[in-house]
Amino acid sequence: PGCLWVVATPIGHRDDISARAVEILRAVAVIACEDTRHSRPLLVHHNIGTPLTALHEHNEREAVDALVRRLQGGESVALISDAGTPLVSDPGFRLVRAARAAGVRCTPVPGACAAIAALSVAGLPSDRFVFEGFLPPKSAARRARLQELAGEGRTLIFYESSHRVAESLADMRDVLGEAREAVLARELTKLFETVLGEPLAALAARVATDPDQQRGECVLLVHGRGDDADARVAEGRRVFAILREEMP
User: Which residues form the interface with ligand SAM (CB under 6 A)?
Assistant: 11-12, 81, 83-85, 88-90, 113-115, 159-161, 185-190, 217-219
**Rounded Cα distance, 167 and 202, in Å:** 14
Least Å distance, CB 119 to ligand SAM, is 11
Measured from the CB atom, is 147 or 161 closer to ligand SAM? 161
**Rounded Cα distance, 221 and 211, in Å:** 20
Measured from the CB atom, is 154 or 190 closer to ligand SAM? 190
**Rounded Cα distance, 221 and 223, in Å:** 7
Least Å distance, CB 26 to ligand SAM, is 22
Q: Which residue is nearest to ligand SAM (CB)?
A: 84
Residue among 172, 219, 176, 170 nearest 194 (CA)? 219
Least Å distance, CB 188 to ligand SAM, is 4
Partners of 160 in the β-ladder: 218
Measured from the CB atom, is 28 or 221 closer to ligand SAM? 221
141-170 burial by CB neighbour count: b if 16+ within 10 A, else e? ebbeebeebbebebbbbbbbeeebbbbbbb
Q: For the chain, how big is the Rg over CA atoms in Å?
A: 21
Least Å distance, CB 199 to ligand SAM, is 21
Measured from the CB atom, is 6 or 104 closer to ligand SAM? 6
Q: Is 136 in a helix, a strand, or coil? A: coil
Least Å distance, CB 75 to ligand SAM, is 25
Measured from the CB atom, is 6 or 63 closer to ligand SAM? 6
Distance of CA 46 to the CA centre of its chain: 24
Least Å distance, CB 102 to ligand SAM, is 24
Residue 9 in contact with residue 21, Cβ under 8 Å? yes
Residue among 82, 72, 100 nearest 38 (CA)? 82
Residue 63 in contact with residue 54, Cβ under 8 Å? yes
Measured from the CB atom, is 96 or 234 closer to ligand SAM? 96
Q: Is 8 in a helix, a strand, or coil? A: coil
> Residue 4 belongs to what H/E stretch?
strand 3-7
Measured from the CB atom, is 1 or 216 closer to ligand SAM? 216
Least Å distance, CB 117 to ligand SAM, is 7
